[in-house]
Amino acid sequence: MAVAKSVPRAGYGRSADQVDRYFAEHYAQAKAAGLQVGTYWYSYAVSPADAANEARACLTVLGNCHFDYPIYFDLEEKWQFANGRNFCDSLVKNFCSVLEQNGCYAGLYISRSPLQNYISSSVAQRYAIWVAEYGPRCNYGGNYGLWQHSSNGSVPGVSGNCNLDYAYIDYAAVINKKTPSHQKRS
């Protein structure tokens, strides 16, 4: 599905003080350009309770912003994966449940290999999945709504390299109208 979208980073960590300094500007510019917008929060959570704190910080930063795409929990740290599947599942569930309790559409951003190895299928099926795997095809065998296929794309009006994604779900319709979603299965 060809959709003009923007998914800027809102921030990272457990404090609203860790807001991405460009988030408000990127959000406003994307909305002004008529793009559908989502966001993500980069995790450094050391425990499930810490992931919930990260979600609360994320919500503080987001304020009254409206999103057409999910708000993603960005799980990338190798030391988090080293704690195993149950630990990673609990981080995702705690972050995403706080978002959902506050009326947000929650998702998980993660690379394909850690998704397969450190996230249970029940958690992967529960939340919107944005999988990163650079190359000509996504080799993830589960369902996903977004596939990040490149980190060196170019977009008119943006200087420097941009991540490029394919969207398989019309999240604006799902979020704004609560219509059924269809996910991509490799």
CA distance 172 to 179: 9
Cβ contact 73:128 at 8 Å: no
Q: What is the DSSP letter of 161?
A: -
39-98 residue pLDDT tens: 999 999 999 999 999 999 999 999 999 999 999 999 999 999 999 999 999 999 999 999
101-145 residue pLDDT tens: 999 999 999 999 999 999 999 999 999 999 999 999 999 999 999
pTM above 0.85, yes or no: yes
pLDDT at 3: 55
- The full DSSP string for 21-44 is TTHHHHHHHHHHTT-EE-EEEE--
140 by DSSP, 3-state: which? coil
Strands 184-185 and 143-144: antiparallel
Burial of 156 (0-12, 13-18, 19+ CB in 10 A): exposed
